[in-house]
Amino acid sequence: MKTLTDTRLLKKYGRFFMKDNSKMVIYFAHPVNTYNTELEKKLIVKIGQVFPSCFIENPNQEKHQKGYQKWKERTGNGMAYYFAEVLPFCDFGIYLPFRDGKWGTGVAGEAKFFVLRRNVPLVLTVNVHGDIRLIFFKSIRILSVEETRERILLPY
């Protein structure tokens, strides 16, 4: 798997992730079963170390939980809140798949948002060790909505 430090990938696509990022906002997409855990805290610190000038937008905030609920009540789709109200104001995302490498539907949808917006076929992932990698979006394995719902009921 190609990683963030792969010279060829950085030469071709690095400008999308590593430009003067002092004003950039990174969206940290991660499964809800990692919310309010030591892992979540650890990964936010690690992302902040790799991108020290960036602001990390964490969906695990009360304002986002309220926004999700309002959109769900109004439209029947709480996830639409993120696509309309949060992601457009972020520059790119970093994504935590499940431990087996499969991606939840919501996290994958958020990644696809940035792939399409930037017209760049790559996404940044983070694993439980805090390793950040640059991978091709088309290489990810996405779970169905039902499979994702089953996974988030279990401890990460």
The per-residue pLDDT for range 110-128, each reduced to its tens digit, is 999 999 998 989 999 999 9
pLDDT-above-70 percentage for the chain: 86
Of the two residues 72 and 21, the one the predictor is more confident about is: 72
Cα separation, 142 vs 137, in Å, equals 10
In a domain, 30, yes or no: yes
Q: Give the Cα separation of 56 and 59 in Å (integer).
A: 10
Q: Residue 124 sits in a domain of what CATH number?
A: 3.40.50
2 located within any domain: no
With respect to residue 114, please indicate whether it lies within any of the assigned structural domains: yes
CA distances from 97 to 20, 74, 119, 133 (A): 27, 29, 22, 12
Confidence of residue 51 (pLDDT cuts 50, 70, 90): confident
Q: Which two tokens stand for residue 133?
A: 């990698």
Cα separation of the two ends of the chain? 23
Question: In the chain, how many domains are there?
Answer: 1
Could you tell me the CA-to-CA distances from 138 to 86, 103, 111, 112, 135 in Å, in that order?
24, 12, 11, 10, 9
Is residue 25 within 8 Å of 54, Cβ to Cβ?
Answer: yes
What's residue 4's pLDDT?
47
pTM of structure: 0.87
Q: Which domain holds residue 43?
A: 7-152
Percent helix, strand, coil in the chain (nearest 5)? Answer: 50, 15, 35
Instruction: Give residue 19's pLDDT band: very low, low, confident or very high (50, 70, 90).
Output: low
Q: What is the pLDDT at residue 18? A: 56
- Does residue 1 fall inside a structural domain? no
Average pLDDT over residues 14-29: 72
pLDDT band at 11 (very low <50, low <70, confident <90, very high): low
Q: Is the pLDDT of residue 13 over 90?
A: no
User: How far, CA to CA in Å, does 156 sit from each of 8, 30, 127, 141?
Assistant: 33, 11, 12, 17
The per-residue pLDDT of the chain, averaged, comes to 89
**Would you give the DSSP letter of residue 89?**
G
